[in-house]
Each structure stands twice: as structure tokens, then as C-alpha cells.
């Protein structure tokens, strides 16, 4: 018999996966041996590919779904539920993990097995992405390459943010993580969703709590979102537009009345890596349409 | 109270020769199960995602390989820090959950009583969640006082409270009303679930992660520290149940009869309830929700060796340990290098098996 309360926990697993506390950027020590590297955290795998260093990778975690070639690497499990022996099975020489990976016991055992690991700080801002790239460069000992990539990404991000500079009417966006039996889990502040909404020149409709929580109907009505944002999970688990807009509280919001919903692939939208600039563009265009500058 | 154990007991009374055979069969079964556990343990120690057989560790005992060689060191970590703690924890939890099932079924004189089914696990889970979420604030003095034992002891407290409530609600004049027991279990489980839900809302990110990982039911977090915390509690509880076998046998004849036979019924029941709560609580605290061990294992064994608790308890402990180790081995290799939460494996083996037992029983005996 499973415990009776696994349902709220399951609903929150995903929410938790998308939360992180910003850490101070600190320099990472280069790994002594990066010939067999395991990266844990999808955005780290993306950065390693963007640096052209994918030849060193021998493993990834289940959150690494881009680029296509990354899927060929053995999957050592979900970043927050790593199996130490699974990680050891790909015989890694070093382990690069995104902040929030664990459990701590697993990482401790791996250190004991003399596999050095470094933690890359997670951040849901423009600077956060650059800090990640810099940290990966330091750990892999390819700082020049990382500096070049960071410059390119920096420019790209600035361009993308520029799009919505002159928007006069800021739109309010409600990020819905999941909807079960009419219960809506939505993102407050301090999350990846909150970060991407801000970068796309919009406002998060929910600002009175941190992280992901279930919203009451009245809070949804009061939030008055103009647009609903959801992750596109390729069909499974997704809530249909029909279900969404027939939700009594949502149907009373501007987003519900104008049937405005944006769906974007989760890893792309919330990964905060090299692809974030184009995710910002996609989201900004979806929210503001033709009213954007520089189009 | 028509109960299979009762019927079987009378049947054994009528055919003393058969009863002797039964005891012999039961003794052989217990020995066989002990051998099975040794085999399963060796299998569990030598298989895993990394493919290491542990041979280098054995060689290192005899100084045949260089201990400073990184490959040898890695193998030592795999055996000593990953597989061995899981093995020990698996044996303790498997045995603990199985004997908890036996004791509860004997106490309620009902083969459907199982800590998971009647809400004891949910109560224990609530105790654990309280510590995970409030351990840094309201419950901080408790954590300071009890250290690493806080989590298993809190789960024990939650399990104890639910078991006592359940017993109070569903038993009157020594008779347990089955329907009442199951319904009370559902109500208690729901209540514990509700309070847990509230705590989940109060939890911060880090606590949510702890809860999520823990709620999946897994031996993956097995460390020597956790074994030091929960192990003694589970071991003592299992040990205590072995002293209950005569009382449980007497109890199958009803409390009045057990009293006449010289069993101090009230004290006996207190010990039994405490043992179940301790074993279930400490197991839940370290490994989350692992279900079905306490109901499948005793059932299977009753079919083979009959209802005598002197054999049923040790046999269940042994088979429960083997069952959980096997489930853990499956969970570690089936999606390697990742792993599946063990609760999923036990439920997918246990669920169909349980239905099969029900179908077989339905035609032979009515409960």
C-alpha cells in the first residue's frame, strides 16, 4: 500500500523540480580529469554541447532532453533522485551537477568513491545564465571558449529583451504547472517560470507567494491574467484548451474570455541555458504579437 | 468470528498426526527460507548497475590487490557504502513489515489487517512529515533532544497513535468488527493524509524535495547513519514479536479463552501494538511507503505452513526480507543506470498476487 498522501506529493514533484534558490556566483575549481564527464541538469548538458565539449560526456540525467544527440547518452536518473551506483556504472571521472541535484547522500557516496563533483549555481535571470556558462567553463578548463559563448549569449539575450522595451501595456501572465480535478497549480515568484515571464517583458500574475502552489478560484479571478502560459509536454498529461477555459474561475479572467493560451516546451522555456534568448523571443511574440519593436 | 486460522486450528486438533506433520513441514520451511535469504543477499550484494561483482573487495581482504588502486577503491565504496547498507536496511524493513502484518492479523484475528491497509503507515508517515517540515522551527527542541532518532521515533509515535485509535474504534469486548476496522483505517488514513497535505503546503523547497524523495518509497537513501537510527528500533520490535507467538496462538481462540490459558491478554496486546507501531514507524521513516509486504508474505506462508505463529513469525521475517531484497534488486537494475522506486515494484508484484490469493480463497473459505 502506498501512503495515502502521495498524490499531493506527486503533483509537487514537478513543481519542486522547477524551483531553485539563487546562489552566489563563486568560482569553480577545474576538474583534474574531464575525459569522462556526467552532467546532471538539462541546461548544463546544453551548455556543454554549445561549448563543443560534448565528446567528454558519458552520461546525462533525465532532465537533459536537448540537443537530440544528448538523448543517446545513458540516463543516470532524475537529477533529484540520483542513484549512486547508476552514476558509477558509466565510470565517470567527474560529475558536474546543477544546484538542487541530489539526494545529498548520493553525492556524498560518489565523493567517497573519489569522483569529484562541482555544483553549478542555478539562476533564473540573464546574469544567472551567464554565470552558469562561466562555471561550466571553469570546471571543464575551457574558460576562453566559455567567455566567447557567454558573450554571444549575452548579446542574444539583450536583443531578445530589447523586443519588449517599448511595450506600453504590460500583459499579466499566469503560468499553470498542472491542473488536476479543477485544481490549478500556478507559479508564484522565485521560479523559472517567473524569470522567463519577466525577461519576455510581461508580469507574473501571481506575486503573493514563492514557488508553485494550488490557487483558489478567487485568487485566479483576482489575478486577472491576460495570458495563460503552460508547458507543452508533447500530448501526454497536457490539459486541453477546452478543459482549461471551461474552468469557472479561468473563464472569468481576460485570458479566459479571449481564449489566450501559450504552450511552449518545458525544457526550452524553463531551462535557462543557451536557448533562453530564443525562448524569450517566442514567448514575447506569443504574448504581444505584432506590437513589438524591432520586428 | 469464522476465521481461517480458527478453522485450521480446530482441524489440527482433530488430526494430531497431521499437526505433527505440519510442524515438521513448518520447521523445514523456516530453514529453507533462511537459506533463501542468504542466497538472495549474496545476489543482491553482487548485482547492480555498475556491474561490479564485489570480487575485488574479497581479494582486498587477502591483500591480493592494491587497496590504493582507484578501481579497487570504487568497488569498495560500491559494496560497503551502497549495496551493503541497502542490504541491511532491506532485511530489517522487509522482516519488520512482514512480522507487523502477522502480528496485526493475529491481534485483530483478521487476515486483512495490514499496517498499510488500515492507516498505520499513513499515521507513521504523518509523524515523519511533521519532523521533515517542522524540524527546523516548532519541533526544533525535539530534534535537538533526539538527534538522528527523531525521525524514526516521530514515525513510531504516529504509528502508535493510529494503531491504538484503530484498536479502540474497531474492537469491543475482545471482538474486532472487520468492516469497522477497515473503515476506521480508511478514515484515519484520510485524516493523516489531510494533515500531511497541510504540512506540504507549509514546506519550503528543500523540505518539499526531501518529502518527494522520501514519499516514493525507496531504499536508495540507505546510509549507515540511517541504519544506526532506525535499525535498532526495527530490530527490537522484530525480536519482541517472537515472544508473542504463544499469545497469538492462544488469541485465535478468543480473548476469554486466551485468558484461561494464562495469557495476560491486556499486557500482551499492548506489547503487540507497540511492536507493530515501532517496526512500521521506523520503516516508514527511513524508506517511505513500501506496501504489500505485510499482507502478501504472511498469506503465502499460511497457505504453506499453516497458522502456528511459532513458525509463521520467523518464516514471515525471513521471506519478507527476501521479498524486499528481490524487489530492491529489480528496482536497481530494471531501468539502470537510473532506478525505480521500490514501492512500485512491491505493489506491481503484490497487487496481482493478492488478487490471486483472494480468488483462490473465495472458492474454499468465506472470511
Confidence of residue A223 (pLDDT cuts 50, 70, 90): very high
Whether B94 and chain A come into contact, CB under 8 Å, resolves to no
pLDDT of residue B183: 87
Report the range of poorest mean pLDDT among A37-51, A108-122, A253-267, B191-205: B191-205
* CA distance, residue A17 to nearest chain B CA (Å): 8
CA–CA min distance A259, chain B (Å): 30
Burial of residue A295 (number of CB atoms within 10 Å: 0-12, 13-18, 19+): exposed
Cβ within 8 Å, pair A102-B209: yes
Distance (Å, whole) CA B271 – CA B265? 10
Among A80-94, B62-76, B83-97, where is mean pLDDT lowest? B62-76
Determine, for residues A88 and B212 on separate chains, whether the beta-carbon distance falls below 8 Å: no
Q: Taking the model in full, what pTM does it have?
A: 0.79
How sure is the predictor about B309, in pLDDT bands with cuts at 50, 70 and 90?
A: very high
B159 touches chain A (CB under 8 A): no
Mean pLDDT over each residue of chain B, to the nearest integer: 84
Q: How much is the pLDDT for A126?
A: 97
Note whether A107 and A82 are within 8 A (CB). Answer: yes
Q: Which residue has the higher pLDDT, A59 or A10?
A: A59
Q: Report the share of chain A in percent with pLDDT over 90.
A: 68
In terms of CA atoms, which chain B residue is nearest residue A90? B50
pLDDT at A61: 94
* A contacts of B347 (beta carbons < 8 Å): 1-2
Task: Supply the pLDDT for residue B2.
Answer: 44
pLDDT of residue B145: 84
d(CA A14, CA B119): 27
B54 at the A interface (CB within 8 A)? no
Distance of CA B135 to the CA centre of its chain: 25
Q: Place A211 in a pLDDT band, splitting at 50, 70 and 90.
A: confident
* B156 neighbors B124 (Cβ within 8 angstroms): yes
Check residue B169 and give its pLDDT: 87
User: B187 to each of A5, A240, B182, how far by Cα in Å?
Assistant: 13, 34, 9
Counting Cβ atoms within 10 Å, is residue A210 exposed (0-12), middle (13-18) or buried (19+)?
middle
Q: How far apart are CA A87 and CA A81, in angstroms?
A: 11
**Chain A CB contacts of B209 below 8 Å:** 16, 80, 100, 102
- Inspect the interface and report whether the beta carbons of A5 and B215 lie closer than 8 Å: yes
Which stretches of chain A sit within 8 Å of chain B by CB?
Answer: 1-6, 8-9, 12-13, 15-16, 19-21, 59, 62, 74-78, 80-81, 83-90, 100, 102-103, 105-106, 108-109, 112-114, 211, 213
Question: For a pLDDT cut of 70, what percent of chain A falls above it?
Answer: 89
pLDDT at A10: 47
**CA-based nearest residue in chain B for residue A106:** B221
Of all residues in chain B, the one with the smallest CA distance to A211 is B205
- Mean pLDDT over the full length of chain A: 88
Q: Which residues on B lie below 8 Å from A12 (Cβ)? A: 200, 208, 211-212
Q: What is the mean pLDDT of residues A56-72?
A: 95
What tens digit of pLDDT does each residue of B25-79 get? 888 999 999 999 999 999 999 988 888 888 888 888 888 888 778 888 888 999 9
Q: Provide the chain B residues 275-294 that lie in CB contact (below 8 A) with chain A.
A: 284, 288-289, 291-292
Q: Do you know the residue count of chain A?
A: 295
Q: Is the pLDDT of residue B331 over 60?
A: yes
Candidate from A4-18, B61-75, B206-220, B329-343 with smallest mean pLDDT: A4-18
Mean pLDDT of B178-183: 79
Q: Which residue has the higher pLDDT, A264 or A180?
A: A264
Q: Does B5 score more than 60 pLDDT?
A: no
CA A102, CA B46: separation in Å to the nearest integer? 25
Higher pLDDT, B215 or A45: A45
pLDDT at A24 over 70: no
pLDDT at A25: 56
The CA dihedral of A86, A9, B148, B192, to the nearest 10 degrees, is -140
B112 touches chain A (CB under 8 A): no
Helices (H), A51-103: 84-89
Q: Name the nearest CA neighbour of B95 among B165, B47, B30.
A: B30
pLDDT at residue A3 tops 60: no
Interface contacts A/B by beta carbons within 8 Å: 143
| Residue B110: predicted pLDDT | 81
Its sign, for the CA torsion A73, A77, A79, A84, is negative
Is a pLDDT exceeding 60 seen at residue A43?
A: yes
H or E segment and range at residue A84: helix A84-89
CA B269 to chain centre: 19
A21 band by pLDDT with thresholds 50, 70 and 90: very low
Across-strand partners of A187?
A212
Please state the φ and ψ torsions of residue A37, each to the nearest 5 degrees. -110, 140
Among B196, B213, B220, whose Cβ lies nearest the Cβ of A5?
B196
pLDDT of residue B6 exceeding 60: no
pLDDT at residue B11 greater than cutoff 60: no
Q: In whole angstroms, give the CA distance from residue A76 to residue A89.
A: 9
CA distance linking residue A44 with residue A63, whole number of Å: 10
Q: How far apart are CA A75 and CA A69, in angstroms?
A: 12
What's the pLDDT score for residue A235? 58
At residue A8, the pLDDT reads 45
pLDDT(B8) > 70: no
pLDDT at B67: 76
In terms of average pLDDT, the best of A97-111, A152-166, B154-168, B352-366 is A152-166
> φ and ψ at A98, to 5 degrees?
-80, 145
Across the interface, do B77 and A78 touch by the CB < 8 Å criterion?
A: no
**Residue B328 pLDDT exceeds 70:** yes
For strands A261-265 and A227-232, give the pairing: parallel
Amino acid at each position: 500500500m502506498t501512503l495515502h498522501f502521495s498524490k499531493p506529493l506527486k503533483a509537487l514533484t514537478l513543481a519542486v523540480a522547477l524551483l531553485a534558490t539563487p546562489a552566489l556566483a563563486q568560482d569553480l575549481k577545474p576538474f583534474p580529469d574531464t575525459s569522462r564527464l556526467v552532467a546532471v541538469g538539462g541546461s548544463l548538458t546544453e551548455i556543454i554541447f554549445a561549448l563543443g565539449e560534448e565528446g567528454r560526456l558519458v552520461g546525462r540525467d533525465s532532465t537533459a532532453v536537448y540537443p537530440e544527440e544528448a538523448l543517446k547518452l545513458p540516463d543516470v536518473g532524475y537529477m533529484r533522485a540520483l542513484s549512486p551506483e547508476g552514476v558509477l556504472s558509466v565510470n565517470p571521472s567527474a560529475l558536474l551537477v546543477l544546484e538542487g541535484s541530489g539526494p545529498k547522500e548520493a553525492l556524498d557516496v560518489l565523493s567517497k568513491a573519489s569522483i569529484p563533483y562541482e555544483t553549478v549555481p542555478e539562476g533564473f535571470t540573464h546574469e544567472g545564465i551567464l554565470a552558469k556558462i562561466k562555471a561550466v567553463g571553469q570546471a571543464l578548463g575551457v574558460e576562453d571558449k566559455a567567455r566567447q559563448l557567454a558573450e554571444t549569449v549575452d548579446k542574444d539575450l539583450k536583443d531578445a529583451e530589447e523586443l519588449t522595451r517599448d511595450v506600453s501595456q504590460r500583459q499579466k501572465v499566469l503560468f499553470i504547472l498542472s491542473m488536476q480535478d479543477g485544481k490549478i497549480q500556478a507559479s508564484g515568484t522565485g521560479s523559472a517560470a517567473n524569470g522567463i515571464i519577466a525577461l519576455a517583458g510581461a508580469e507574473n500574475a501571481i506575486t503573493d507567494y514563492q514557488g508553485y502552489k494550488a490557487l483558489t478560484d478567487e485568487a485566479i479571478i483576482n489575478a486577472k491574467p491576460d495570458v495563460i502560459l503552460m508547458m507543452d509536454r508533447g500530448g501526454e498529461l497536457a490539459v486541453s484548451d477546452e478543459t482549461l477555459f471551461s474552468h469557472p474561475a479561468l473563464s472569468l479572467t481576460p485570458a479566459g474570455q479571449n481564449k489566450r493560451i501559450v504552450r511552449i516546451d518545458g525544457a526550452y522555456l524553463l531551462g535557462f541555458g543557451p536557448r533562453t534568448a530564443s525562448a524569450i523571443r517566442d514567448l514575447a511574440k506569443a504574448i504581444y504579437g505584432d506590437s513589438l519593436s524591432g520586428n | 468470528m469464522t476465521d481461517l486460522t480458527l478453522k485450521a486450528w480446530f482441524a489440527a486438533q482433530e488430526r494430531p498426526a497431521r499437526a505433527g506433520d505440519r510442524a515438521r513441514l513448518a520447521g523445514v520451511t523456516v530453514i529453507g527460507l533462511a537459506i533463501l535469504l542468504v542466497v538472495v543477499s549474496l545476489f543482491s550484494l553482487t548485482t547492480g548497475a555498475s556491474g561490479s561483482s564485489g570480487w575485488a573487495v574479497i581479494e582486498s581482504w587477502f591483500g591480493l590487490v592494491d587497496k590504493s588502486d582507484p578501481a579497487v577503491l570504487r568497488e569498495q565504496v560500491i559494496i560497503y557504502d551502497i549495496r551493503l547498507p541497502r542490504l541491511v536496511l532491506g532485511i530489517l524493513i522487509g522482516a519488520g513489515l512482514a512480522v507487523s502484518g502477522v502480528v496485526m492479523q493475529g491481534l485483530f484475528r483478521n487476515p486483512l489487517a495490514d499496517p498499510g491497509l488500515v492507516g498505520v503507515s499513513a499515521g507513521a508517515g504523518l509523524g515523519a512529515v511533521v519532523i521533515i517540515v517542522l524540524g527546523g522551527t516548532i519541533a526544533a527542541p525535539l530534534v535537538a533532544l533526539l538527534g538522528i532518532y527523531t525521525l524514526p521515533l516521530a514515525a513510531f509515535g504516529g504509528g502508535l497513535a493510529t494503531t491504538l485509535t484503530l484498536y479502540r474504534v474497531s474492537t469491543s469486548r475482545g471482538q474486532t468488527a472487520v468492516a469497522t476496522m477497515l473503515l476506521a483505517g480508511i478514515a484515519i488514513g484520510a485524516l493523516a493524509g489531510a494533515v500531511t497535505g497541510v504540512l506540504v503546503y507549509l514546506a519550503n523547497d528543500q523540505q518539499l524535495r526531501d518529502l518527494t524523495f522520501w514519499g516514493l518509497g525507496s531504499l536508495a537513501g540507505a546510509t549507515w547513519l540511517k541504519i544506526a537510527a532506525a535499525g535498532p528500533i526495527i530490530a527490537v520490535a522484530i525480536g519482541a514479536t517472537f515472544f508473542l507467538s504463544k499469545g497469538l496462538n492462544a488469541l485465535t481462540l478468543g480473548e476469554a479463552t486466551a485468558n484461561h490459558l494464562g495469557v495476560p491478554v491486556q499486557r500482551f496486546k499492548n506489547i503487540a501494538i507497540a511492536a507493530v507501531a515501532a517496526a512500521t514507524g521506523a520503516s516508514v521513516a527511513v524508506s517511505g511507503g513500501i506496501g504489500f509486504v505485510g499482507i502478501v508474505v504472511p498469506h503465502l506462508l499460511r497457505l504453506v505452513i499453516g497458522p502456528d505463529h511459532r513458525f509463521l513469525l520467523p518464516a514471515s521475517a525471513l521471506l519478507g526480507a527476501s521479498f524486499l531484497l528481490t524487489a530492491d534488486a529489480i528496482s536497481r537494475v530494471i531501468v539502470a543506470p537510473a532506478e525505480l522506486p521500490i514501492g512500485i515494484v512491491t505493489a506491481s508484484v503484490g497487487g496481482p498476487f493478492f488478487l490471486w490469493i483472494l480468488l483462490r480463497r473465495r472458492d474454499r473459505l468465506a472470511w
